[in-house]
Homo-oligomer: A and B are copies of this chain.
Amino acid sequence: MPDTALPAPASLPTAEDVRAAARRIAGHAVRTPLLESPLLNDRLGGRLLVKAEALQKTGSFKFRGAFNTVRQIADAGVQAVVAYSSGNHAQGVAAAARLCGVRATILMPADAPAIKLANTRAWGAEVVTYRRGREDREAIGARMAADRQAVLVKPYDDPRIIAGQGTVGLEIVEQASALGLVPDAVLVCCGGGGLASGTALAIRAGWPDVPVYAVEPDGYDDHVRSLAMGRRTGHQATEPTVCDALMSALPGEVTFALNQDLLAGAVTVSDDAVLGTMATAFETLKLVMEPGGAVAAAAIMAGRHPIGGRTVIAVNSGGNVDAAMFARALARGPLL
């Protein structure tokens, strides 16, 4: 899936690129807290810490990679960017563009959550919608970029994006170390693999012995399949999932080159477990998780990854969820 608006990555990002990204986003991105609930830990029989990227600017981790990338694009003298996204990358790029003083045009699926469409516009971006599954967003994105003399900011398959998302992992290492703890595992929500690869890069640089796992929705198991096959392999899902942020068809080229080396594995969780985890997070952590942002914690709560007696850090990737979907999670009730 090469495109002409960006040069092909010369090399894979490194842990030093993540540190450079951390310096670039400092003062712009939120250093999000690691949250935990002693009562939830009692119920789990282990210790769960949640890296709360719902509290990040724009409500998801996507601002980190977007700012790290748009800042560099703007510094190179480019005055416009385009992006395609189901919603969180859209808001991240829109916010980064506003802060860097460049124009942003974002291509979004017409059925994206209303909050994601509204907030992308509120950040000052022009929003163009397309029909998910019926139009080729990458082709439309490339054409929009050419029309507008703009640079395409990919959602995940770019070393600058990956390095930016990796600051999540860097902060986890710093924050856990300040608490005097080294976790037994780190679990990361996974769509195209940008957050997973960046986080794994930083985690394994800081803690070479700590395994990092990707978590996907049941059916959308392209990382499970790809890690098993040793090559990028698509999922076979035909039904939608509540995890609108995690519906990408295939691991990225750059992200998978990293993830193949860095990840200890991948697991999946059901939509019901995701909704139950959102309700548990509401009750115990007081955090609003969006469905796609709840899969890593759901893997712990649903027992897909054993925690008994151990300490696990789960990344919550975002909190941009419509009230109706959140009410559905509350009506379902806590998983644990």
- Which residues in A have some Cβ–Cβ distance to B below 8 Å? 30, 33, 35, 38-39, 42, 54-55, 57, 59, 95, 115, 119, 122-123, 279, 282-283, 285-288, 319, 323, 326-327, 330-331, 333
Contacts and interface: CB of A to CB of B under 8 A. Distances in A.
12 contacts: A39-B119, A42-B122, A55-B287, A279-B323, A282-B323, A286-B319, A288-B288, A323-B330, A323-B331, A323-B333, A327-B330, A327-B331
Nearest to A316: B286
A315 B2 CA distance: 49
Contact of A287 (B115, B279, B287, B327): B287
Given A33-B33, A282-B288, 5 more contacts: A30-B33, A55-B286, A55-B287, A282-B326, A288-B288
Contacts of A115: 283
Nearest to A60: B286
B55 A33 contact: yes
B57 A38 contact: yes
Nearest to A43: B122
A170 to B, nearest CB: 18
A54 B323 contact: no
Contact of A286 (B42, B54, B279, B323): B54
Contacts of A283: 115, 323
B323 A59 contact: no
Nearest to A124: B42
A68 to B, nearest CB: 18
Contacts of A331: 323, 327
A196 to B, nearest CB: 21
A285 B54 CA distance: 8
A132 to B, nearest CB: 23
A175 to B, nearest CB: 11
Nearest to A318: B286
B288 A39 contact: no
A267 to B, nearest CB: 25
A41 to B, nearest CB: 11
A176 to B, nearest CB: 15
A330 to B, nearest CB: 4
A39 B122 contact: yes
A326 B283 CA distance: 11
Nearest to A31: B33
Nearest to A324: B330
Contacts of A287: 55, 286-288
Nearest to A332: B323
Nearest to A282: B288
Contacts of A123: 39
Nearest to A334: B323
Contacts of A33: 30, 33, 55
A127 to B, nearest CB: 15
A108 to B, nearest CB: 17
